[in-house]
């Protein structure tokens, strides 16, 4: 009992000391806890404050991002429109390039054609110049020939008048001799009266035509026989040819011809019969048989065929 009492007292003293220590520890722990809580609370406050700030900043950033996104979307939309416009422009450009290429091809073709036309024009111009030179030369020859024919007609008329021969030279240089002087009706033998006329006429005629002034221009001397319309054309054709031939042969064999005259005549003298193909009519339009029965002496100049062809071409050009 005594031990127990002592133990209890010891225990009681020990408990009182331990309790005080515990209280002090507890207070310290409480203080620490309070400090921790305060720190935690402050930390949480700081955290939430910072969180709110960051949240606000984030929202602001999000708004900025949203605004930027909206702006970007608008830009993308504008870019899409511009891309569509660019595509359209590209298509137009491609089409324009295609047209340009086609135009270039056409231009190249036209240039080639133009080159050909220019070459043809140059060639045609050269030919035209040659033709103009030739035409000018022909015109000079024509003027010469016209002058020569005029001079021959003038000299023939003067020579026949001087020889007292009543043969008339017309505007073409033809001389008509009355057939009745040369031939009996339906005959082709030359009468003495006709021979006498030829003996007077031919020397005068040839002295002009075969003179040195005109012989180089002379192309042909033609003796034509003509009849009236009595009888058939065939018989009159034979008769007119025979009469023209007899006159031509008489002229070629005339003793008074010089060697030069005879040689020239053999080269240019021809005889032809016209039957009644070229009748003569009086002022009333009726046939004049005596005038129709005739022998004509004609001449042509060397270039007259060429001149007639040139005149025909010029007339055709005038018609065009």
Cα 153 from Cα 217, distance rounded (Å): 14
Flag whether pLDDT at 320 surpasses 60. Answer: no
pLDDT tens figures, 180-226? 888 988 899 999 999 999 999 999 999 999 999 999 889 999 999 99
Counting Cβ atoms within 10 Å, is residue 152 exposed (0-12), middle (13-18) or buried (19+)? Answer: buried
Flag whether pLDDT at 19 surpasses 70. Answer: no
pLDDT tens figures, 241-289? 999 999 999 999 999 899 999 999 999 999 999 999 999 999 999 999 9
pTM over 0.75: no
> Is 292 within 8 Å of 279 (Cβ atoms)?
yes
Match 């030829």 to its residue by tokens: 198
Diameter over CA atoms, the chain: 229
* Closest alpha carbon to 296 in 315, 316, 271: 271
Cα 203 from Cα 159, distance rounded (Å): 10
Cα 221 from Cα 155, distance rounded (Å): 16
Cβ within 8 Å of residue 265, ≥6 positions away: 206, 210, 221, 251, 252, 257
Residue 316 pLDDT level (bands cut at 50, 70, 90):
low
């Amino acid at each position: 009992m005594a031990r127990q009492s002592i133990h209890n007292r010891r225990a009681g003293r020990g408990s009182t000391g331990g309790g005080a220590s515990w209280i002090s520890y507890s207070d310290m722990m409480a203080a620490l806890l309070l400090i921790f809580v305060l720190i935690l609370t402050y930390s949480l406050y700081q955290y939430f404050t910072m969180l709110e700030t960051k949240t606000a900043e984030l929202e602001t950033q999000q708004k900025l991002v949203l605004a930027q996104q909206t702006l970007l979307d608008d830009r993308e939309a504008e870019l899409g429109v511009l891309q569509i416009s660019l595509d359209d422009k590209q298509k137009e450009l491609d089409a324009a390039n295609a047209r340009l290429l086609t135009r270039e091809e056409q231009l190249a073709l036209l240039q080639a054609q133009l080159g050909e036309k220019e070459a043809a024009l140059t060639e045609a111009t050269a030919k035209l110049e040659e033709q103009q030179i030739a035409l000018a030369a022909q015109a000079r020859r024509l003027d010469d020939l016209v002058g020569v024919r005029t001079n021959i007609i003038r000299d023939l008329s003067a020579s026949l008048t001087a020889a007292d021969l009543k043969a008339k030279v017309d505007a073409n240089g033809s001389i008509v001799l009355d057939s009745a002087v040369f031939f009996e009706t339906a005959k082709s033998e030359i009468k003495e009266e006709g021979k006498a006329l030829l003996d007077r006429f031919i020397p005068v005629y040839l002295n002009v035509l075969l003179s040195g002034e005109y012989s180089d221009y002379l192309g042909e001397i033609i003796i034509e026989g003509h009849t009236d319309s009595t009888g058939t054309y065939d018989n009159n054709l034979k008769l007119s040819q025979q009469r023209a031939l007899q006159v031509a042969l008489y002229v070629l064999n005339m003793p008074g011809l010089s060697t030069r005259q005879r040689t020239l005549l053999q080269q240019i003298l021809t005889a032809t019969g016209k039957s009644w193909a070229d009748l003569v009519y009086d002022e009333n339009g009726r046939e004049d048989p005596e005038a129709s029965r005739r022998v004509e002496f004609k001449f042509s100049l060397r270039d007259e065929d060429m001149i007639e062809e040139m005149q025909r071409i010029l007339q055709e050009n005038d018609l065009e």
